[in-house]
Structures are given as structure tokens and as C-alpha cells.
Amino acid sequence: MAVALELDGVAKTFTLHLHGGTKLPVLRDVSFVVARGESLVLTGPSGCGKSSVLKMIFGTYRCDAGRILVREADDVFDVAAADPREILRLRARNLGYVSQFLRVIPRLATIDVVAEPLVATGTDRDVARARAAGLLERLNVPERLWSLSPVSFSGGEQQRVNIARALLPERPILLLDEPTAALDETSRSIVADLIKEAKRRGAAVVSVVHDQEVRALIADKIIDVMRFCAVRS
């Protein structure tokens, strides 16, 4: 299978500016590859750096060393060396991201929150909204909520909106940070099915999943991030 994503010798140290600039090494020599159609699950105890790995791939965190290579056709982009504009372009084309918290523009209707990534890449708004509606329905987000902002939704409803927004554009790389947290059993099963469908269309998936049942359903390989921990107990 063709490689979609490669991390090579990636390291991260946080600088604690409120504590006199203290340096806190977190990760070192993070190295792995993910092929198209493959799902990698990151495991390890809380605080070991799992979410930080996803944020470095997405370009939210800068890494201190190493390369983060995203392959697109015959081109290779290094997120670690890219400037902010290049990262934004890369996100629009290649990277879908589900964070642990939904961040949206207040008062924007849920259906437009989900449709916006498609609209931003040139899809007709009515077409994008129709596709968004189909995915929201599948995720059991009630239609009566679609015209409302999701900021006042329950945690589980917000997470389903978060998932719909990330999965709708069918980007080639998906980064999922606890996508099934706060979800009921039925919703977890639906999300697992959506991830498996993304894999079948060729998406490379990197996720943090603590739910063992979901992990068993979606994981092709599992990496314990403790092996990359910069300071081990």
C-alpha cells in the first residue's frame, strides 16, 4: 500500500513561560508510517503525548525536530517545515481533524458548520448542505437542531457534529482525538462504521481511542506512545 503519512524522528518540548521558561521535554524520535486505507491507533497513559502527536501532524503544534511528511500524488509536503499558509492549504486538501472539543463560530447553524469545509473548497452550498444533512441524520443528530448553533448542545451531540464536519469532505488523512468519547453505544458503532468506510475509500487514519471495543473495530496497528516519551518513569 502507498504511504500517505510518515513521521521521522519527530520531537516536542514545551516551554513553560509562566515558570521562568522551564523546558519540558515530552516526545522524542516519534517515527511511524501510515498507508492509504490503514488505521493506526495511538495508545498510552494520560499525558504521554498522544494528542500532541495529532496536533503536530495537523500543524497546531510545531515540532522541535524531525519531519512530518504528507504525500499527495507525486508531491510530498513536510508539515514541520511548512509556513502557516502552506499548513492551511494542506488542511483544506488533505487533513480532517476531530479534536476533543468542538470549536465553531457562535450562532452559525449546525448544518452550515458541517457543510462549510465543502463550501470552502468550491462545492455548491446547497449541495454541501444536502450532504451535511445526510451525514447528520446518519449520526442521529435530530433535524430540529440543524438550524441551531451547536454551542448549546450536549457533549455527545457536539461530538457528533464535530465528527460530521471532519468526515464530510472525505480528506485523505483523518486525525481523530477520542472521536467516540461522550457517545452512547449506538453512536460509537456508527462512528466506527464511518471510519471503516473512510479506510475503504483509501483514507489513512491516525486516532487516539481509549474505548477497547472501538479500537478493536478500527485498528490495523497500534502504537504505544510511551515508547516515544522523552522522560520515562
Question: pLDDT, tens digit, for every residue of 91-123?
Answer: 999 999 998 877 777 789 999 999 999 999 899
Q: What is the CA radius of gyration of the chain?
A: 18
**Angle CA 228–231–233, to nearest 5:** 105
| 229: alpha, beta or left? (left if phi > 0; alpha if psi -120 to 50) | beta
Of 19, 28, 95, 23, nearest in space to 55 by CA:
95
CA distance 24 to 91: 28
| Domains of the chain, first to last | 3-103+153-228 (3.40.50.300)
Residue 9: all three cell numbers together? 524522528
pLDDT in tens, 152-193: 898 899 999 999 999 999 999 999 999 998 899 999 999 999
pLDDT in tens, 41-86: 999 998 889 999 999 999 999 999 999 999 987 889 999 999 999 9
**Terminal-residue alpha carbon distance, the chain:** 37
pLDDT of residue 76: 93
SS3 content of the chain, % helix, strand, coil (to 5): 40, 25, 30
Residue type, 191: V
For the chain, give the percent of residues with pLDDT over 70. Answer: 97
pLDDT of residue 66: 96
pLDDT of residue 100: 82
